[in-house]
Amino acid sequence: AQTVTQSQPEMSVQEAETVTLSCTYDTSESDYYLFWYKQPPSRQMILVIRQEAYKQQNATENRFSVNFQKAAKSFSLKISDSQLGDAAMYFCAVTNRDDKIIFGKGTRLHILP
Amino acid sequence: NAGVMQNPRHLVRRRGQEARLRCSPMKGHSHVYWYRQLPEEGLKFMVYLQKENIIDESGMPKERFSAEFPKEGPSILRIQQVVRGDSAAYFCASSPSPGLKLFFGSGTQLSVL
C-alpha cells in the first residue's frame, strides 16, 4: 500500500519570498511517480509538477521546484518568489505505473502581502 | 479538446434518494478515477476504472456505492439511499495512461438534506 504524509496543515509566506512544503511517502514499488497538485478556492485541481522516481534530477517548472530524496522517501516542493496567486491547498501524490494515485491531506498555503 | 466534464456541478438530494454523478473523460483517455473530498481534507481514492472494467475499487464503500465506465458514454458514480455523511465534493479525473498527468474535472458537490 502507498501512503503520503504532509505534516504541515497550514503555512504562510511573505509575498516574493520562498517557501518549502514537505511531503513524505511510502511505497514498496521501485518504479513510481510523484506529483504536486494545487487546489485554489475555485476547487479546480491543477498539476504543478511531476517527478519520475527513476530520474535523479529534480523536476522544475518555472518558480516551482522539488527536492526529491528517494532514499528518504521525501518529495518537498519549493516555491520561489511567492505570488498572491499561489495561495491554495497543495497536495502531494504518488502512484506506480499500474495503480491509483494516492494523495496526502494537503497543506494550505497563505501568501501575505 | 474539452477537458474532463463533470455534471451536475451541484446536486442536492434528500436522505434515501439516489445520486448519479457523471464524468466524461478527455478525448482519448481510457483511465478514469473517482475521488471524494470532505471539507478541509484531501482527496480520498474511491475507484479506478478503464473502459468496461473496474480495476481497483478498494476505496469505495461496499454498500450503496457503485461505478461504471461503459464502452459508450460517461463514467457514472452511483450512490443509492444517500445519507448525510455522503455530502462531499466528488472529483473525477482521467488519464491516457497510469503514471501520467491526471486531468481533473471541476467536481460535483453533493449535499444531502
pLDDT on residue B92: 96
Cβ-Cβ contacts under 8 Å for A62 (sequence gap 6 or more):
none
pLDDT on residue B86: 96
pLDDT on residue B100: 75
pLDDT on residue B57: 93
DSSP-assigned letter for residue B51? T
In order along chain A (113 residues), what is the average pLDDT of each group of 10 residues? 91 97 92 92 90 91 96 96 96 82 93 95
Within 8 A of B106 by CB-CB distance, chain A residues are 42-44
Which residue type occupies A41?
P
pLDDT on residue B51: 87
DSSP-assigned letter for residue B36? E
Contact present, A53 and A34 (Cβ < 8 Å)? yes
Within 8 A of B93 by CB-CB distance, chain A residues are 45, 101
Q: In whole angstroms, what is the distance from residue B97 CA to residue A98 CA? A: 9
Inter-chain contact A98–B98, Cβ cutoff 8 Å? yes
| Residue B72, burial from CB neighbour count under 10 angstroms (0-12, 13-18, 19+) | exposed
Inter-chain contact B42–A98, Cβ cutoff 8 Å? no
pLDDT on residue A4: 94
pLDDT tier at B1 (50, 70, 90 boundaries)? low
Residue B107 above 90 pLDDT? yes
pLDDT on residue A2: 81
Coil, helix or strand for A55?
A: coil
Residue B55 above 80 pLDDT? yes
Q: What pLDDT digit, counting tens, does each position of A47-76 carry?
A: 999 999 998 899 999 999 999 999 999 999
Q: In whole angstroms, what is the distance from residue B46 CA to residue A25 CA? A: 19
pLDDT on residue A29: 83
Coil, helix or strand for B18?
A: coil
